[in-house]
A and B are shown apart, each in its own frame.
Chain A
Amino acid sequence: MFGKLAKLSGIISLCALLVAPAAAEGQVEVRIGTDGGYLPWTSMTPEGELTGFDIELAKLVCERMERTCRFTAQPWEGQIPALEQGKYDILVGGISITPERQKRLAFTQSYGNLPINFAAAKSSGLNGKSTWPELKAALAGKTIGVQSGTQSQKFMDNELKSEVTIRLYDNQDSLNLDLLAGRIDAALAGRSPWIALTRTPQGEPIEILSPNLDFQQFNYLGVGVGGLMRKDGHELRKAWDEALCKLKVEGEVKRISEKWFGFDISVKPDPIICGA
């Protein structure tokens, strides 16, 4: 028993020795993990090249940091354990900054934020409201669909629960089907699935309703997406954040976001990190 334990600890320390030089090398080469299947944040070209909003931005950050970066694609489920094991230095790809993740890991400053939006049939006459109270008044008494377990559901519960009938869906596809069929008068979800829907031929009768709803007005909604790192990666985080500050000021983040999303999702430089 103890013999085995001693052997095991021997193997572990050997592993640590093997890992140490790799970690030292990581000072030069930044290892970036990303999903590669989450358009438009991170995706793969038919040739097997990584591309997307996050990839393009990360490449610019690496340029500014004057570091070489190596991208590896791995499905999202395994990414956080791999990061914790030291396989990557940072994860990117539309990763929402949430308090649960912040407990165990660290985030760079937020560089993009998508609002949540209501969507409804163009014929509904719900569009064109400039403020949330106006839209809220128009929605009273309607049946509204939302995917369960999302920020949108949280929003419905906080803001609209007593005024409307809420229908809960397992996934975005079912929600889309019922919105198209007219079983629900409107639906609430992140802006990107609505963009995807309205670009399809079937989604033609649907439109995204103004105003955008985001954390600036409703502080319980997420503050956006950031690069996810271990808490021990101070140096890299500082360098990454500094590069992001510059890229934000120069309007590069805005430019890339307009290329991938068709509109500006960029977030203002964090005053604490970037200074006034």
Chain B
Amino acid sequence: MDLETTLHVATELAGAIWVTLALAAATLPLGFMFAALTTWARKSPYRFAQTVASAYVLVFRSTPLLVQIFVLYYGLSQFAWVRSSPAWIVLRDPFACAIIAMSLCAGAYTAEVMRGGLAAVPQGAIEAARSLGLSRFKTFLLVTAPIAMRRALPAYSNEIVVTLKSTSLACTITVMELTGVAKDLMSQTFAVIEVFCMVAAIYLAINMILIFALRSLELSLSPAYLRPASRMRRMIPWMSRSIAR
């Protein structure tokens, strides 16, 4: 690849980074919302809500995201009544379809992450809070949620990284994110290795930053006695001295 082509490829790819980031940025909060609703429904006393939530998680975890995207995008558009309904305003747009499909899928996985986090909260802590006279809501807000969040964060950070990578599937429904632009550049330049290595490097860089940020968040949320030793020494000076002696 000559310099001119390299520059052309680099600028095109740089423009597409924002599309990829926008997809992920829209998908993650929506997915979190779906997951929170599902978790609430699974814990609710209503049988119907429990069944719907469990079915949702089962279906979206057990089918490939690509199939979900195709069903939503090409499948629903087959029905004339869908095309004449107000939902078409959203479903007409490939970007919106990609976000809906991906956040439904991310929601199902995140619901499982939340279930794991909640299961890891010691029953004793909840009982203690209740016996102190805290209401159910306050117990959840002040005791259950913080502990569950800490426990679930490593698994959730995994989900964030996976979601960012799965945005590449949006190119199958004409959303020109990183992978889509790369495929187009490949047919223009025939520089398959160069283009896709550049794309891989961009995904790697984005995910490295994400992983580092999430790891820092995880550490800052951990109580001091749970942090790794090296970090503990740095953060608590008197302790490092006592260990040194």
Contact = CB atoms under 8 A, between A and B. Distances in A.
B172 A148 contact: no
B12 interface: no
Nearest to A175: B174
Interface in B146-175: 172, 174
Nearest to A153: B187
B149 to A, nearest CB: 40
Chain A, interface SS category: mixed
A170 B187 contact: no
A248 to B, nearest CB: 34
B61 interface: no
B174 A169 contact: yes
Interface in A34-71: none
Contact of B172 (A145, A149, A170, A181): A170
A177 interface: yes
Interface string B38-50: 0000000000000
Interface in A157-172: 167-170
Given A145-B174, A182-B83, A174 B183 contact: no
Contacts of A183: 77, 92, 94
Given A148-B183, A168-B180, A183-B94, 11 more contacts: A149-B187, A153-B187, A167-B94, A168-B184, A174-B74, A178-B74, A178-B77, A181-B74, A181-B78, A181-B83, A182-B92
9 contacts: A149-B187, A153-B187, A167-B94, A167-B174, A178-B77, A178-B174, A181-B74, A181-B92, A183-B92
Interface of A: 145, 148-149, 153, 167-170, 174, 177-178, 181-183
Interface of B: 74, 77-78, 83, 92, 94, 172, 174, 176, 180, 183-184, 187
